[in-house]
Chain A
Amino acid sequence: MSGGTRLENANPLIFERSGERLLTVADEDEDVADPIDDREIFDLIRSINDPEHPLSLEELNVVEQMRVNVNDEESTVSVEFTPTIPHCSMATLIGLSLKVKLLRSLPDRFKIDVHITPGTHASEDAVNKQLADKERVAAALENSQLLEVVNQCLSTRSM
């Protein structure tokens, strides 16, 4: 972020981070199988960095646990995300980061669906279509500049 550039939304609303998932006795028990649940998926994506702000998607309320749906048995995941402003130009990038994070973190049996929360973005359909198109996602990741930005969103912050 250079000194001169202006941010699209310089002073966004900040939301509280949820705490770490509490460990239960069942988690430590060798014999109990823990299914993949909504909270686990949410934990995967909540710490993704926003491309603009030094904040996580959770803090900007772009992702919420209630907008995550997973079905372990049928191997499907659906994630809705909400851009901070309806004209946010970063929406595609955020969606792509979510998609890539899930692709890297989930077993390949899962069908992953990432889309914008209905009615929260001006060009909702276009973005959803891009994110749903496997080939376009693959092509986007061939582009090294795009991959670089996505990787920056996905790297654990260290500065």
Chain B
Amino acid sequence: MADNSVLLGLVEEFVSGQVDSKAAETATGVKTGQFTILQLVEALGLSLSSSQHQTRGRGVQLLSEVLQESYSSLSEREVEVLLAFYENRLKDHYVIIPHVLQGLKALTKCSVLPPGSAVSILKSIFQDIHVQSLMLAERSCVYNILISLMESKEEELKGLGADFIFGFVQSVDGERDPRNLLLAFQVARNIIQRGYDLGKFVEELFEVMSCYFPIDFSPPPSDPRGITREELVLSLRAVLTGTSQFAEFLLPLIIEKLDSDIQSAKVDSLQTLAACGLTYSHKELAEFLPGLWSSIRREVSQTASERVETAGLSALSALVSCLSRSVLTSDSEDVLQVFLSLVLKDCQHHLCEPDLKLVWPSAKLLQAAAGASYRASLIVSAAIIPSLLEQYNNRTQCAQRRTLLEVLQGFVQPTALSRPADGEDSVLVAFQQSLCGVVFSALTESSAGLQITGTRVLTALGQQPGLMSQPDVEKAVDHLTRLILEEDDPKVSLAVVECSGSLAHLHPKAFISRMIPRLKEEILSGQSDAAVRQRCVTVLASVSSLSSVVQESAPVLLQVLASAHTGSCGFSVEEVAAVCISLQKIAAHARDSEEIGRFFHDIIIPHLLGLCLQAALQSRDAGHSSPLTDEAVLSAVVPVMSTACAALQSESASRMAAQAVSLFLDGDVSFLPENAFPSKIQLLQIQSPALSQLVCLLMACVCSLPCSVEIPEIDRLLLQLEDLSCTCPHLFSYTCAAKCFAGLLNKRPAGEALDAVLERVMKRISVELENSSSVQRTRALTLLLWVSKALLLRYHPLSTALTDQLFALLSDPALGSQAADGFGVLMSDSQDVLNRGCHADVRIMYRQRFFAENSAKLVEGFNSAEQEKKSCYLKALSHIVSNLPRQVQLTELPALLPLLLEALACVDQAVQLSTLSCLQPVLLEPPEALRNQLEALFSRLLALTTSPAMKVRIASLQCVHALSRLPEHMILPFRARVLKALAVPLDDKKRLVRKEAVAARAEWFLLGSPGGR
């Protein structure tokens, strides 16, 4: 009884006292079992039957709110009684209806709806309520009731037949709110997709839905609901294209809307048409095909917009693939054939006018049609290809032939849909001979454009089985070889290189027997000029993706290096470095093929090491300087070895490590070819630079091996490297020694051994830094830098101590600037060591972490530094920031902006340049913080446009250009000032500066001007 009085109290307070919170308390009571629904109804008794409709409304509201919380615990009997009550209340006064609908919505979510209830609920709703005169929330309630009933009582609703459709059409007719429309579209989609009988209301349902097509909706600026136009478009499209019963109404509507002036309406119509292609069959389309085709053709050939063109082409493609699915009957004509002949009739003749504008839209339309299915591509190819080939042979102008060949290229490459199935031939088989003939004739023309297009068609032909016979392939290889040797246009060579690469993957034999020997002869003849040799070397790298080819091509390159060493053919240093780059490209394939890796391990690397060692010894003894002792060449050899070593399997990797270490520590030369080396060479001792710099090759071999590989005698190795890096007078050698040391440290497992090495090296660095000689201090700084990097990458606890030492050095009078540049090394990816390709231990987001931990120190150091030392801090900062990922830059910019602006005003041009380059990408999507700093930013940037350094002028103009894309209201006040300031660099003495100034000024002119932006 106590409960009962509590309940009465709650009801009383809610109904008469208007205390809304009591509903929640009551609901909790019902949910916890304190009272039952029956008790609540009894307690509500008087309010529910009151003659005051406000009181009745309050009563129903309380009941509905409780039901919303507790509908899942109701029994079937309770539901039945409540439903009867609510259905009856629908006839009540209008102020009560909202609460009644809320209650009904809750009840329809019950799992124990009694049979027949769905029908009766819907009948009462459709009968007693005029949905569109309800408020927004109540309309939404009705749609939600429909959705839940469709989920739980599908059979019953289908039993209602067309009445249900009619009721829905009536209730949705005139809906305007986008939130409710999404619900209404969902109901309609359910009706269509779940097979409800539309009866005689097909047209009514279509009318009531299609009146929203095409959707024109732009959400209010700060839309909390986040409904997008895209969402509405897609759900409406699903309704309209969901059933072919709508076809007779939808297709004329699409044709009509395509005439619209609004671009988005055209695109939407075309995309809707493309979606129809999936559900319709030719029956529905047949009648409208001519109209649809002429609209699509008009749009594609007249539009200036790529979106309309793409949408038009995919609509055509969808139509054709729909027609291709249709089953042929003996008495009717082939609809696909009929439609395609219409397309061909309208487009084909334009292909005979390769100079005129319409050749391209027509070609694209035909290609879209051909790409829709295998059958369509057969029909279109049969009609088009012979005439294109004939045209090509009859025309003599290169430009026309090129256009024809480019059009042809589009037909040669099959799409995913038009690819022949197993057992079917390529559609081009019939034209195989003449296609190859045309391609070869293009390759022999003198026009670069024609040659380039020729190679592309050749690539496409080569990739389809059955289109090139063996003699054709050989002929093609001969043509490619000739082009490489004779054509000096860089675009042609690039195209030939790409084409050779893709053909060599499929036809390696032809390349091995015909191209490689010819190239080898040319490179080593010593008579051709450097550009030809360079092209030969590049193409050798690009054809070498298969092991069988690599075994032929890599030795050629090795031979080039050998003859460069002996000086027989007069190779320049740049050429030798380029040969190494090609070798590295080949080595990269070792990742995919173990065989290539083994070949490099067994043959290439020992030969390379041997050659370099020989060159170094000769230069020490005889003073003969071979290109292989040049730093640039050695720096190019390093990536060859490290790429190959990184791909080695565990066994060969261990062998590699052992061989390299014994060579460098003990002078063991037994694994090198042509064993003519003095024994007991001490490579890690201080001696002539030519020998000491070979330490970079040690780095290439041991620092790129997988972490699991144990390096023999690592402690002795580390000690010698440390000595070399602290004492060697030669810059390249001690830097490489430091890098090698760091690369090994980075992979060393944590533990006492590592700690001991670290303690020793840190002490050593401190001692060396105490020295007065600047050379010694620079060496110590280099070692410090690389060791810091090795530890920073793996999150080693000691890295902070080391980087703090670097920060301290920023205020050093002699080393400050070098230390600042060191931050660039620390934050950027190093090419030859300590990167992921070398299996180094690189933790994710180490840059962000470093920045987060240290930016404050930097700012503090900057503020407390003396005026003339501030630039080092700015330089360090700009190195760090410019290496951060953009997302982080954007979030950190507010804090750093004042400092960066300071950096722009700094006199050091390198600082200006790196700050500008890190600002420019940020300006494309400016953060909020920029808003208050625009004045300062503009005055600094505009001042830099007349800087003495050309690169600074260019970079600052690019920033000013980027700023023109900021929201108009922010930058319009600066327009006049910017235009005036940019008039000056228009007369700059450098053309590159003028070009940037023109581009920036043009954009600023368009700003805020009609037709501009």
Contacts and interface: CB of A to CB of B under 8 A. Distances in A.
Contacts of B261: 2-3
A55 B357 contact: yes
A1 B350 CA distance: 22
Interface string B297-312: 0110011111100000
Interface string B301-339: 011111100000000000000000000000000000000
Contacts of B991: 27, 34, 36, 40
B1012 interface: yes
A4 to B, nearest CB: 6
B306 A3 contact: no
B145 to A, nearest CB: 43
B994 interface: yes
Given A40-B994, A107-B986, A154-B1002, A10 B358 contact: yes
A148 B305 contact: no
Given A3-B259, A154-B1006, A16 B298 contact: no
B947 to A, nearest CB: 11
B1001 interface: yes
Contacts of B302: 1, 3, 7, 10
**Residue from B350, B995, B1010 whose CB has the most chain A CB atoms within 10 Å:** B1010
Contacts of A10: 302, 357-358
Contacts of B992: 27-28
A38 B769 CA distance: 59
Contacts of A13: 355-357
Nearest to A103: B1005
**Residue from A53, A106, A145, A155 whose CB has the most chain B CB atoms within 10 Å:** A155
Contacts of B307: 159
A147 B1011 contact: yes
A44 B994 CA distance: 11
A30 interface: yes
Interface in A100-159: 101, 104-109, 144-145, 147-152, 154-155, 157, 159
A7 B399 CA distance: 26
B105 to A, nearest CB: 46
Given A27-B990, A159-B307, A11 B356 contact: yes
Interface in A22-54: 27-28, 30, 33-34, 36, 40, 43-44, 53-54
B355 A14 contact: yes
B304 A11 contact: no
B1009 interface: yes
B949 interface: yes
Given A3-B299, A148-B1011, A54 B304 contact: yes
Nearest to A157: B304
B528 to A, nearest CB: 24
A12 interface: yes
Contacts of A53: 304, 357
Given A109-B987, A151-B1006, A104 B259 contact: no
B738 interface: no
Nearest to B999: A156
B1006 A14 contact: no
A152 B1011 contact: yes
Contact of A30 (B950, B994, B1001, B1009): B950
A1 B1009 CA distance: 21
B356 A107 contact: no
A155 B356 contact: no
A109 B987 CA distance: 9
Contacts of A147: 1009-1011
B983 interface: yes
Contacts of B303: 1, 54
Contact of A159 (B304, B355, B449, B1012): B304
B1011 A11 contact: no
Interface string B411-445: 00000000000000000000000000000000000
A14 B356 CA distance: 5
A105 B305 contact: no
A12 B361 CA distance: 13
Interface residues of B, number: 44
B305 A44 contact: no
**What is the size category of the interface that chain A forms with chain B?**
35 or more
B998 interface: yes
A54 to B, nearest CB: 3
**Residue from A3, A30, A34, A107 whose CB has the most chain B CB atoms within 10 Å:** A3
Interface in A53-111: 53-55, 101, 104-109
Contacts of A105: 986, 998, 1001-1002
A28 B993 CA distance: 10
B1006 A107 contact: no
A159 B306 contact: yes
B989 interface: yes
A110 B304 CA distance: 34
B884 interface: no
B362 to A, nearest CB: 10
A117 B1002 CA distance: 26
A16 B399 contact: yes
B347 interface: no
Contact of B358 (A11, A44, A149, A150): A11
**Residue from A12, A14, A154 whose CB has the most chain B CB atoms within 10 Å:** A14
A138 to B, nearest CB: 15
A3 B986 CA distance: 41
A34 B990 contact: yes
A45 B353 CA distance: 27
Nearest to B950: A30
B358 to A, nearest CB: 5
Contacts of A1: 302-304
B258 interface: yes
Contacts of B350: 11
Interface in B542-601: none
Contacts of A43: 995
Nearest to B362: A11
Given A105-B1001, A149-B1011, A12 B949 contact: no
A23 to B, nearest CB: 8
Interface in B349-368: 350, 353, 355-359
B1001 A104 contact: yes
B260 interface: yes
A69 B949 CA distance: 30
Interface string B969-1003: 00000000000000100110111101100100110
B357 A12 contact: yes
A75 to B, nearest CB: 10
A132 B516 CA distance: 64
Interface in B36-89: none
Contacts of A7: 302
B306 A150 contact: no
A157 B261 CA distance: 19
Contacts of A155: 1006, 1011-1013
B399 to A, nearest CB: 6
Nearest to A53: B357
B1001 A107 contact: no
A35 to B, nearest CB: 9
A43 B995 CA distance: 9
A4 B1001 contact: no
Contacts of A145: 1010
Nearest to A159: B305
Interface string B238-265: 0000000000000000000011110000
26 contacts: A2-B259, A3-B266, A3-B299, A4-B259, A11-B357, A11-B358, A13-B357, A27-B991, A27-B992, A30-B949, A33-B989, A34-B989, A36-B991, A54-B304, A54-B305, A55-B357, A104-B1002, A105-B1001, A105-B1002, A108-B983, A148-B1011, A150-B1011, A151-B1006, A151-B1012, A155-B1012, A155-B1013
Given A104-B1005, A108-B983, 4 more contacts: A27-B990, A43-B995, A107-B983, A151-B1006
Interface of A: 1-4, 7, 10-14, 16, 27-28, 30, 33-34, 36, 40, 43-44, 53-55, 101, 104-109, 144-145, 147-152, 154-155, 157, 159
